Every structure is written in structure tokens, then in C-alpha cells.
Amino acid sequence: MAKKQVVSTTINGQQEEFLCEPRQTLLEVLRDVLDMTGTKEGCSNGNCGACTVLLNGRPIDSCLVLAVEVEGAEIETIEGVAPAGGLHPLQTAFLEQAALQCGICTPGFIMQAKALLEQKPNPTEREIRFYLAGNLCRCTGYDKIVRAVQQAATAQQEVQV
Amino acid sequence: MRDFDYAAPESVQQAVQLLSQANGSGRPLAGGTDLIDQVRMRRHEPDLIVDIKRIPELNVLEIGADGFRLGAAVPCWKITSNEDISRQYTALGDSCSIIGGVQIQNRASVGGNLCNSGPAADSIPSLIALEAVCVIMGPDGQREVPVAEFCTGPSTNVLKPGELLVELRFPPRPAHSGSHYRRFIPRNEMDIAVVGVGVSVVLDESGENFVSGRISLGAVAAKPLFAEEASSLLAGRPVNDETLAAAAAAARAIATPIDDMRGTVEFRQHVTGVLTERVLQRAIERARSGEPGSLHP
Ligand code: FES
Ligand code: FES
């Protein structure tokens, strides 16, 4: 068996060191080694986006990243999104718009939408749909998700004014 | 996933050495969006994965008087967010903006899309239209191969064991030139091309005549094609419906697609002609205006 390697990264602002085999994906390490099970596995082949996390600020499918690749990188997962004792505007909006049913796609959608709003605080509906095209949801039919992202965008802008 | 060793060398020389020593059982890793899934599905069974993203030469992105150099590991997002590329090598920006969704574009590289050598790969017709050349390093030194001659069949190419694609080199863009890539897919996003067409045109000063053109087709043969005759039918001709129709007919004539759930042979051949005309029209607009316009048609 290939030797395990030590990988040091920053996850949700915290320095982390873990031991993993080269064949383990970032998704597997997050869930099985670090017990951060907020990030979900859907397809494990890059189609569904349930495993989306931010790698150096950009959303990627963590099932298509080897954990050994993230040496020195910064990672943000769903566990780091809510401020202490509260919810992120996207989380509030997803709840208020009922933008989830079974919820397995939700952490991925939140991470992806968060990256979108950081790049484009006021996206059009078309921009939202294109940006979220790599995230699949079998329950909601997407409209509620799009509305939740719109609500969060408005809420974030109001906070800034 | 299958067990393998991992190395992340910091020079081309080390990478080539590692790949040569692996005797054909080593695979380079850039964005991993094809490779990791293929290893999981056992389409590839490497004993060694060589991460090439820490090698400076493979991260080059330079546009100057001599043309454009693109390191093989540069991810799509760096291409779509580069204004010089969008203005000058527009077709490549078009391709990179539709390869997978955002998550995939944040990882996938053009070099990887080329080396994976899928017949429907979205970047390859653009590379061929824009006359890109592969710079390849191997145990016996460096060689150059035009992208039009790189792929040899579905998932196969001219790379020999131990060889590594280092960068793609594009000639400078002449005045009054424009390029475009578009594909036909049944969905709005995130699908595999039923037909893909990449085009580059150079017009004369009046904008009414072609100086030259290059047309390339994806997803209609065992490998992406350079449509040589169709391209030659543009040179020196006036920009009009007749010229476009003649080029489209010649492009259609070399399409030898397969039947599958995305389309029949007949449908794909028809779409090849239609798309060739439309993509030419867009490239002509861009050559005349000097503006890329929106990347999504
Ligand atoms: S689990 Fe990673 S994209 Fe589906
Ligand atoms: S809420 Fe069930 S998949 Fe989206």
C-alpha cells in the first residue's frame, strides 16, 4: 500500500494536519478522517455538486480532488459558513424559501451560492442558474433555490447599505 | 479507489523522469476532473500519479508579440477571466466557459482536456482553429506537434510513455481576425457536444473578403478534425452566403459521426453544416467589430 502522507491545510480558518493515503479524495478525508460530514457525497464523479467546497476561495467538487493535493491550501466547508450562534443569510433564505426537501444537495448549493455572491453580489436570475448548473437537486425543482439565492443577495446588500 | 503513489515534482525534468521510470504506469494529474473518475472506474490503473501543478512552466499564461503561451496545467477559469484571451483568442474562451460547470472549470485544464483526447472535447476544435502547437517534453528531449495532429483516436494521442505536454503555443492574431466555438447540446448547460465547431477567420481591411480561415469539428469522428478543404474554400473569397454555404457543405462532407442517444448519424451531419455556417457568422462579426461580445451565444 502506498505510504500515508501528512497534509497541512487551513480548514474554515483553522490550521489542520491530517494523515491520508494518496488514493483518498478530499471528500473522503473531510467526512471519514476529519468527521466533517456536512459535505455530502452524491455521485462521486463530478456531476452533482453535493460535495462542493471552496478551495482557495473557488468552488470545486471535492470528490474530484485528491486530499494530498491540498497541501498548503485553504479550504472552506459548510461547517464554516454560519457565524457563531446564528445563520448565514443564505441559510436563512434557504429555510424561509423552503429551498430544500431531503437536504442532501443543500450544503453544496450553499457553498456554490456563497462563492457566486462573493463574486457577484447582485446576480441576475440567468447568472444564478448558470452558476448553479453544476449542482443537482432531485427534490425542489430549482425555482425555490433560485429564489433563496435572490433573497440572500438582497439581504446581504441591505446589510451593507 | 485503487492504490497508487503520488508525487508532486517542481520541475519538468523531474516529472519526465518520474513518468519514464514508471514505465507507462504513471499518469500526470492537472485538474483531475477526468483522471480521478477514470481511476475510480478503473479505466486507468496507474501505479503513480504525478501532480504537475507545482511546475512553473506548466502554469505559464503569457500573451505578447510572439503569440500566446499556455501552460498545460492552467485551469479554465484563468482563461475565461483573462481579457486579452477573450479579445484575441476568443474561441478558446468560448470553449473554457462551457466545459462542465463552474466547479469543473475551477479545476480542469485545457492541457488535460487535450490529453484526455475525447472526440467531443470542447477545447480541441478551438485549439485547432487557432493553430495551437503542443510543446512536449520526454526522455529524448523536446518536440512540437500541431494540435491538429495530436489526437489519434478516441482517448488516444501521440504522447509516448514518459512524455509530458508542457505547453500550448499559439501564433499572434492578425488584424481583422475573429474566432468562435459553439456546440450543439440538447440541454442548456453541462452536456457533451453532439457536434462542436471551432472557427477562426481573417478578413481583409474592408471586412468583405476572407484572407484565410480555419474550421475544426468535434464529436463527428473518432477524433477532432481539421476541416482542411472547408477551410481552403474561405481563402480569398468574398464574405457572403454562397461562400459560407460552400464551406459548410465541405465540413459536413467529412463528418463521419456515430449514432448514439445524443443524435443519429444523419442528424449530426446536418447539424455540422448548420453549425459551421452559424459559427462562421459569429467569427466574422467578431473580426469586423474587434469585440468578443458575449461568450454565451
Ligand atoms: S459527489 Fe462530487 S460531484 Fe457528486
Ligand atoms: S433537496 Fe433533495 S436533492 Fe435537493
Per-residue pLDDT, B295: 54
What domain range is B131 assigned to? 61-170
Percent with pLDDT over 70 in chain B: 98
Measured torsion, CA atoms of residues B97, B103, B104, B110, in degrees rounded to the nearest 10: 60
Residues B135 and B182 in one domain: no
CA A117 to centroid of ligand 2, rounded, Å: 21
Rounded to whole angstroms, the Cα distance separating B43 from B180 reads: 33
In a domain, B295, yes or no: no
Residues B221 and B252 in one domain: yes
- Total count of domains within chain A: 2
- List B residues 233-272 in contact with A (Cβ-Cβ < 8 A): none
Q: A80, A106, A123 — which closes off a domain? A: A80
Tell me if A60 and B103 make a contact (CB, 8 A cut-off). yes
Residues A109 and A151 in one domain: yes
* Maximum C-alpha span of chain A: 56
CA distances from A125 to A120, A144, B167 (A): 12, 12, 37
* Phi, psi of B103, rounded to the nearest 5 degrees: -60, -40
Could you report the per-residue pLDDT of A96-112, keeping only the tens digit for each?
A: 999 999 999 999 999 99
Tell me if A64 and B29 make a contact (CB, 8 A cut-off). no
Tell me if B103 and A25 make a contact (CB, 8 A cut-off). no
Name residues contacting ligand 2 (CB within 6 A). Answer: A 100-105, 137-140
How large is the ipTM? 0.96
Per-residue pLDDT of chain A (161 residues), as tens digits, is 788 999 999 999 999 999 999 999 999 999 999 999 999 999 999 999 999 999 999 999 999 999 999 999 999 999 999 999 999 999 999 999 999 999 999 999 999 999 999 999 999 999 999 999 999 999 999 999 999 999 999 999 887 66
Mean pLDDT computed over every residue of chain B: 95
> Smallest Cα–Cα separation from A149: which of A104, A75, A88?
A88
Q: List the single residue in A with minimal CA-CA distance to B101.
A: A134
Per-residue pLDDT, B186: 83
What CATH number did the domain enclosing A154 receive?
1.10.150.120
What domain range is A32 assigned to? 5-80
- List A residues 7-36 in contact with B (Cβ-Cβ < 8 A): 21-25
Q: Which residues of A touch B31 (CB under 8 A)?
A: 64
Confidence of residue B187 (pLDDT cuts 50, 70, 90): confident
Rounded to whole angstroms, the Cα distance separating B88 from B92 reads: 9
Could you report the per-residue pLDDT of B16-39, keeping only the tens digit for each?
A: 999 999 988 999 999 999 999 999
Rounded to whole angstroms, the Cα distance separating B161 from B164 reads: 9
Q: List the single residue in B with minimal CA-CA distance to A3.
A: B5
What CATH number did the domain enclosing A64 receive?
3.10.20.30
Residues B143 and B238 in one domain: no
**Given a cut of 90, is residue B261 above it in pLDDT?**
no
Residues A75 and A93 in one domain: no
Q: Flag whether the pTM goes above 0.80.
A: yes
Q: How far is A60 from chain B (nearest CA, A)?
A: 4
Q: How far is A53 from chain B (nearest CA, A)?
A: 9
Helices (H) and strands (E) in chain B, counts: 11, 14
- Total count of domains within chain B: 3
For A29, the 3-state DSSP assignment is helix
